[in-house]
Structure 1
């Protein structure tokens, strides 16, 4: 009997499953890493230290990354932050991703969401925006980055740095320490759209940045003078 041919849907599902499983150390739920770490807490500590050091180098200009504020920029930031730790850094996921009770953008709309982000950034007259308008614009950018969640992990770290660099380019500073972790997580979760059957069939959905505006109003520091 001839082997059964896989349908395109089944083939895609199996490929996505294999890609997802490849992000773990085989036989564990520890993220595959280049450091040879097999303990989750130790890996978390190493990620924090190395990513923070990489972020400081980006912020002080020691690590130069082209400021294009598009998907390529986000990928480059992700690689700079965690590329020494994770072999999958900067790679757009080909599998669906959820955390707890929330789901992120289906794979087929990731590029579209990040394309909208880049066009939004280019379309703003940043120099003419006041504090509230800038906070709202940055909330819009982060909400889309967070919804797209294009990488296996460390999306929040890369997205927050992306927004901080964007603000800096226009004379503002973003101090995330002014916002409690609980408030940040709450706003980020509420900003995510509900993923429905319609989404799975190709209809796009949009995040709601309004839930993140209060956080950015607190975090945003006006230009000196």
Structure 2
């Protein structure tokens, strides 16, 4: 990884945790700083994450391991099919010690009625994947259309809520990958955690305007020179 890529990976990992109100310890932040500076390499950072996770009696140690694994998530490629298998592949990279069969949210007596029925997760995920495929994974869209469609899928995936733990973090990694491949990058650092939670809550109630506003504030073209000089801010990678 280049120094810029290391810095970007650390910034994303930190924001991804903070959006779920998770806070890495000073020692984990120091490990991330050493990684950015090149004093700690990828395998050393992975070893630190494994050591921290072994401290299973400490919630903070688990958060620290999650933080470090998020930094490294892009170093372990997965099949980008836009389906439940992709979501599970991302989730396994964040929580590798969790049994795969136990990762998905399971039906509970006190299930949240605002979420998709847990017993039908695979059917719901398949429907979302098919819809994404029909839209060519949001490729070649002008910016306003891309923002509207990405807000739609963020809402759909949040309603699906496939994982009992680290669901939001997994979805944000997925959406970042999806957006990048479609020609846009998401700057989650521009997102206020309170506004983010409110936008998702309102979207679950049928109002995605706040989610669209949130996404519009953080979406940037992957190739800004082409966008600005050839197409203009509101036009997408196809132009």
Give the TM-score, by structure 2 length: 0.63
Q: What's the counterpart of residue 185 of structure 2?
A: 173
Bigger share in helix:
2
For the residue of structure 2 that corresponds to 1:212, the secondary structure is: helix
For the residue of structure 1 that corresponds to 2:54, the secondary structure is: coil
Rounded to whole Å, the distance in 2 between the matches of 1:127 and 1:53 is 26
Q: What's the counterpart of residue 199 of structure 1?
A: none
- Deviation, 1:187, is 0.8
Rounded to whole Å, the distance in 1 between the matches of 2:108 and 2:151 is 24
For the residue of structure 2 that corresponds to 1:173, the secondary structure is: strand
Which one of the candidate residues 71, 82, 87 is aligned to 1:53?
A: 71
- More deviation, 147-156/38-47: 38-47
For the residue of structure 2 that corresponds to 1:94, the secondary structure is: coil
- More deviation, 74-83/86-95: 86-95
The unaligned stretches of length 5 or more in structure 1 are 1-32, 194-206
- Deviation, 1:36, is 4.0
CA offset digits 1:71-110 (Å, max 9, x no partner): 11111111112214x34587322224989x8842221332
Distance 1:38 1:127, change over 3 A: closer
The unaligned stretches of length 5 or more in structure 2 are 1-51, 227-239
Distance 1:43 1:127, change over 3 A: closer
Rounded to whole Å, the distance in 2 between the matches of 1:41 and 1:221 is 33
Which one of the candidate residues 96, 106, 110 is aligned to 2:117?
A: 106
**CA-atom RMSD, angstroms?**
2.7
